[in-house]
């Protein structure tokens, strides 16, 4: 079996996250939104999770959201893991530096894994999910979120147009993201049971698109594509892209929108205690009887 293509430079990602760590809290609004959403989902599941891991913890947004939730008493141990040691520095609790592509957890050792806005940087998302499933006990829970394909559509279009206009060609400057319709399929391919996928589309409004770029740097979310274009993005092209962004997308008050699509995945490791789909033909009641209607035969084709 051939290895998955190398899309992202993970060493560069670690460096970007390390650089962003001191000021990460100034632009963590999407991380906190995803973390709070994960906690809400956890609150609806009335069971205990003795050992849990927050994968891609960054500045601890999930731990903070969980601490103020009724679900906190049901998570006995929460280990925070992150690719960058700088993101984990300066706070208490169990922490471990870990790469999402090479998880250090023993087989069947965890009851819950949460990952908010981190897995979209893995070169093999399915491979990472398989590792997560293997680390979970039977009937263990995974709640994860990642950016989807509609993320940064305005910025992507503006950069593309500016580069074509000024250089006659265009390079990939923004990382690719999974499409929303593929989300549940990722869980199924990874062997999770009862997969559920949801989409949360967030529009953030800025006074100028340059403010968006500043937030992306502060989040550690600027591109780390492994296959970098030999022609660096020039200041001239970037300035033209910002002009096009304003021209095409500015709203009546002059502010510009930036779209972020958050895909949230929920799945369970298979277990015999889980509900199983019925086999075809095993139903004990006809659909017409259940609906209280008279079944009508299909008309036959005329010869």
Closest CA to 57 of 140, 137, 116: 116
Contact 126, 247 (CB under 8 A): no
pLDDT recorded at residue 176 = 72
Q: Which two tokens stand for residue 96?
A: 């471990």
pLDDT recorded at residue 226 = 81
DSSP secondary structure letter of residue 74? G
Rounded to whole angstroms, the Cα distance separating 209 from 293 reads 58
pLDDT recorded at residue 151 = 95
pLDDT recorded at residue 247 = 97
Q: What angle do CA 47, 49, 50 make, to 5 degrees?
A: 135
Q: What percent of the chain has pLDDT over 90?
A: 75
Q: Which two tokens stand for residue 159?
A: 């950069």
Residue entry with tokens 């205990």: 48
Which parts of the chain register pLDDT below 50?
Answer: none
Residue entry with tokens 């030999």: 230
pLDDT recorded at residue 276 = 64
Helices 235-249 and 153-167: crossing angle, nearest 10°?
Answer: 130
* Helix locations, the chain, DSSP H: 10-20, 29-43, 61-67, 85-88, 125-135, 153-167, 183-189, 209-219, 235-249, 287-291
Contact 115, 56 (CB under 8 A): yes
pTM, two decimals, is 0.87
Rounded to whole angstroms, the Cα distance separating 74 from 64 reads 15
pLDDT recorded at residue 183 = 83
Helices 209-219 and 10-20: crossing angle, nearest 10°?
Answer: 100
Helices 209-219 and 153-167: crossing angle, nearest 10°?
Answer: 110
What would the 3-class secondary structure string for 38-65 be?
HHHHHHCCCCCEEEEEEECCCCCHHHHH
């Amino acid at each position: 079996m051939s290895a998955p293509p190398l899309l992202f430079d993970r060493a560069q990602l670690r460096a970007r996250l390390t650089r962003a760590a001191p000021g990460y809290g100034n632009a963590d609004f999407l991380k906190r939104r995803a973390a709070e959403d994960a906690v809400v989902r956890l609150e609806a599941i009335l069971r205990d999770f003795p050992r849990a891991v927050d994968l891609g913890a960054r500045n601890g947004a999930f731990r903070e959201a969980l601490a103020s939730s009724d679900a906190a008493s049901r998570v006995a141990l929460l280990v925070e893991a992150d690719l960058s040691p700088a993101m984990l520095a300066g706070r208490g609790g169990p922490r471990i530096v870990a790469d999402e592509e090479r998880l250090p957890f023993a087989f069947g050792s965890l009851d819950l894994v949460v990952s908010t806005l981190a897995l979209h940087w893995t070169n093999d998302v399915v491979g990472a999910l398989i590792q997560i499933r293997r680390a979970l006990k039977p009937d263990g829970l995974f709640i994860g979120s990642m950016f989807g394909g509609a993320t940064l559509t305005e910025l992507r279009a503006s950069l593309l147009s500016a580069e074509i206009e000024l250089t006659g060609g265009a390079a990939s400057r923004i990382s690719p993201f999974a499409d929303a319709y593929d989300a549940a399929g990722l869980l199924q391919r990874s062997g999770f049971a009862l997969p559920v996928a949801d989409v949360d589309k967030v529009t953030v409004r800025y006074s100028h698109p340059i403010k968006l770029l500043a937030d992306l740097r502060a989040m550690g979310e600027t591109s780390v594509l492994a296959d970098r274009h030999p022609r660096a993005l020039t200041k001239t092209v970037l300035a033209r892209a910002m002009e096009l962004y304003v021209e095409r997308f500015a709203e009546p008050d002059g502010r510009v929108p930036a779209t972020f699509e958050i895909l949230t995945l929920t799945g369970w490791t298979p277990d015999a205690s889980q509900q199983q789909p019925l086999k075809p033909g095993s139903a004990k009641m006809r659909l017409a009887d259940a609906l209280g209607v008279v079944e009508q035969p299909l008309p036959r084709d005329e010869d």
